[in-house]
Amino acid sequence: MTDFFVDTKFHVRYAETDAMGIVHHSSYIVWFEEGRSEFMRRIGLPYSKVEDMGFYFSVLEVNARYISPAVYDDIVVVRTRLVEVKSRKLAIRYEVLRDADGKLLAEGNSLHICLNREFKIARMPQELFDLLKRHCVCEE
């Protein structure tokens, strides 16, 4: 697969804005999580299924770069790509775009480690690894 991504679209909610009327920086991290959850659903692997298998993808690191503000009632698109899959690790890239004009508002990344039910670092099962790898825009 050359450029697999999932777009998640929604309106900016009033509660996500700050006193200046723009989206508060912390909201973008929540949006990244929404994009990541939708990505997993679309490839047929909702987080609930991963947990049923006895595994978790814990966040090790997350970062965001803010480029242009979003405001209340903008429709935004979170574009989510899986960019690295290792036996115990995932890396995901996000772009937040304004739907009306396609303007890039923010971009970021998150790094995740696979844990088992005992919250110990673990290799993900082969079937899980293979499914993720098929949907990865891996930068190797």
Distant-in-sequence, close-in-space partners of 29: CB < 8 Å, separation ≥ 6:
62, 64, 108
Note the pLDDT of residue 140: 56
How far apart are the C-alpha atoms of 111 and 91, rounded to whole Å?
5
* 29: in domain: yes
pLDDT at residue 2 greater than cutoff 80: no
pLDDT at residue 1 greater than cutoff 50: no
Looking at the DSSP assignment, which residues form a beta bridge with residue 22? Answer: 71
* 89: in domain: yes
The domain that contains 60 carries what CATH number? 3.10.129.10
* 43: in domain: yes
pLDDT at residue 28 greater than cutoff 50: yes
pTM equals: 0.93
Q: What is the pLDDT of residues 39-65, one digit of tens each?
A: 999 999 999 999 999 999 999 999 999
* 67: in domain: yes
Q: Which residues are known to be catalytic?
A: 18
Mean pLDDT, residues 66-83: 97
- Residue 83: exposed, middle, or buried by beta-carbon count in 10 A (0-12, 13-18, 19+)? middle
Whether residue 76 contacts residue 9, with contact meaning beta carbons closer than 8 Å, is answered with: yes
Share of the chain above pLDDT 90, in %: 94
